[in-house]
Amino acid sequence: MTSLLSLTTLLSVTTSGRTAIVTGANSGLGLECSRALLREGWHVVMAVRDTERGRAAADSLDHRDRCVVSRVDLSSLASVRTFLAEHLDAALPPTRAVICNAAVQVVSRTRLSADGYELTFAVNHLAHFALVQGLVGQLARPSRIIVVSSGTHDPTKRTGMPAPHYTSAEELAHADGDPEEPIAKLGRRRYTTSKLCNVLFAYELDRRLGRDHGGVAVNVFDPGLMPGSGLARDYTGPQRAAWRFILPLLRFLPDVHSARTSGEHLATLAGDRRFEGASGQYFLGLRPVRSSIDSFDTTKAEDLWHTSERLVALEPR
């Protein structure tokens, strides 16, 4: 674990405070959420793939003494396991929030994770499933798990993205055979389907924790349209330019937010007393709203859960 805290400082804070883990914290929503959490007195573990970029991001934040940069490559389940082992051994205040934020959108070609799974499914869902499974039994009570999804998971919303297509988790994990549609459209559909998986997973976890949630609340966060995020990094040059320079002009529309605003909303959902007792809900910003019809499909949720349990236990093929 690469840390901005000295061991002496770490040991001095173990008896007080609260820790939040934020994946994908070196830019965009994750960075702004980390900023807001630090402002509210949290200790933050910025879980990032590139620790050099993570340290540079942490340097831009106030309260660096409460910031830890830790490496986790969500395209590798071995890296997730290493992160878990290091975090559980770290001398940090009790972990009371896990924010599953990191995501990729791959539209140029089919890519596989280190474990041989389709990369979008592997990063956006499977790695976070493994992360939460490794942490949930160790979390302080009460605590909150927040899974970041997207309005693109709901085909009734006019997002401009292809509708999700959930067949089975096994098929989503394995990108075998020739694609049935152009790779760019397929890549975007894989993304929207992974966002549906995020909601299915969160709701199923909430059900499995039981009526009182075992002291662990689980919710889904939809940041709304957030122009300028890193999700367009695999787009063509003109598409990236539009995402970066043109879409921000739409911020006057409802549910279009800057990363700063959405990050503050996410941090509020993680710690504000207004949301005590809220679990198994889908929040658009700070408003609880109804998610898609498919997100309540318990058959899909159970298939996703059982398949994910098996996949995260497998050795790389």
Active site residues: 191
Helix axes 298-313, 127-135, angle to 10 degrees: 80
Task: Sort 71 into a burial class: Cβ within 10 Å, 0-12 / 13-18 / 19+.
Answer: middle
Question: Do residues 176 and 310 touch, judged by C-beta distance below 8 A?
Answer: no
Give the sheet arrangement for strand 95-100, strand by strand. 67-71, 43-48, 19-23, 95-100, 143-148, 216-222, 281-284, 287-289
Q: Which residue has the tokens 């298939």?
A: 303
Kindly state the DSSP code that residue 309 receives in the 8-state scheme: H
* Residues 6 or more apart whose Cβ sits within 8 Å of residue 185: 162
User: DSSP string spanning 184-229?
Assistant: HHHHHHHHHHHHHHHHHHHHHHHHHH-TTGGGEEEEEEE--B-TT-
User: DSSP string spanning 92-134?
Assistant: -SPEEEEEE-------SS--B-TTSSBHHHIIIIIHHHHHHHH
DSSP helix/strand/coil, 169? helix
